[in-house]
Amino acid sequence: MTNLDLSTIPEHVAIIMDGNGRWANQRGMPRAYGHRQGMESLHAVVRAAGDLGIRYLTLFAFSSENWRRPETEISGLFGLLKTFVQRDLAELRSRNVRVRVIGERGNLKNDILKLLIEAEEGTATNTGMTLVIAFNYGARDEMTRAVSALMRDVQAGLLPMSAITPEAISARLDTAGMPDPDLIIRTSGEERLSNFLLWQAAYSELVFVPEYWPDFGRENFLAALERYATRNRRFGGLAPAAAVVGS
């Protein structure tokens, strides 16, 4: 049960799903086992977010730095991606969830790219929650690509230098057209963003929880939303009470 006030529900929640490997290690199991169990948490959170009316849910699924991991682990993660598309896409369609994938696609193998495109195209007409999968994603790479695109337009004479504004950069990020995340949650007790949505997180509320991702379910998600509801978001301004006292 929860005392969550539905009027405080954020429009966009992003999650760094961390701790699958450590969760498995504590149980004497291979890291792949933790990733499989983490899929169950993913299902629970996606359903909860949709039920609560959250408009955007962004999940950090595979970072551009994850290629440094052992080949067996990477293969296992790709296997889970294939399972997700083949098994879970039908449920997402039925729940009116739209899938959007962000991240660099240029260096992906054709079979992986095909899966990502299938997930997007298979839900393109849905009008409910947008499930954003950050795959082969790194925020610095994203920002570099955005600025490079702007500079190409400047060099081609399509834009003046004065047109390089924060709004112009945002419009060329992978998340163009989406609101910035109101809340970013990270599991496993780590307290950093790890190259995730660095530009978009400028005014996000951050909630760090100790549970590893396989232990993070619906109730943990609701508890994080309750913590968010207590925050006073000022976006660089003054809180109403402070404004009166300091006037």
Strands (E), 109-224: 130-137, 183-186, 205-208
pLDDT of residue 239: 59
**pTM higher than the cut 0.85:** yes
What pLDDT shows up at residue 1?
42
pLDDT of residue 78: 80
Spatial distance between the Cα atoms of 28 and 26, rounded to a whole number of angstroms:
6
Binding residues: 18-23, 31, 35, 63-65, 67, 69, 186, 192-194, 205
| Predicted local distance difference test score (pLDDT) of residue 73 | 79
Of 124, 128, 121, the residue nearest 97 (C-alpha)? 128
Domains defined for the chain, CATH in brackets:
8-137+181-229 (3.40.1180.10)
Task: Specify whether the CB–CB gap between 82 and 118 falls below 8 A.
Answer: no
DSSP type of residue 87: I
Rounded distance, CA 178 to CA 34, Å?
Answer: 31
Residue 101 token pair: 């994938």
Segment 36-43 long-range contacts (CB within 8 Å, at least 24 positions apart):
36/80, 37/214, 38/213, 38/214, 39/80, 39/83, 39/84, 40/214, 41/17, 41/213, 41/214, 41/215, 41/216, 41/217, 42/17, 43/88
Which neighbouring-strand residues pair with 185?
Answer: 15, 207
Cβ atoms within 10 A of the Cβ of 4, count? Answer: 15
pLDDT of residue 65: 79
Residue numbers annotated as active site: 18, 66
Q: Give the annotated binding-site residues for substrate.
A: 19-23, 31, 35, 63-65, 67, 69, 186, 192-194
**Residue 241's pLDDT is what?**
52
Cα distances from 208 to residues 2, 211, 221, in angstroms, run: 19, 9, 11
Which ranges of the chain have pLDDT less than 70? 1-3, 235-247
pLDDT value at residue 49: 97
pLDDT the model gives residue 243: 44
Q: Which residues are known binding-site members for Mg(2+)?
A: 18, 205
CA triplet 71, 29, 219: central angle to 5 degrees?
105
Separation CA 83–CA 77 (nearest Å): 10
Digit-coded pLDDT (tens) for 125-146 = 999 999 999 999 999 999 999 9
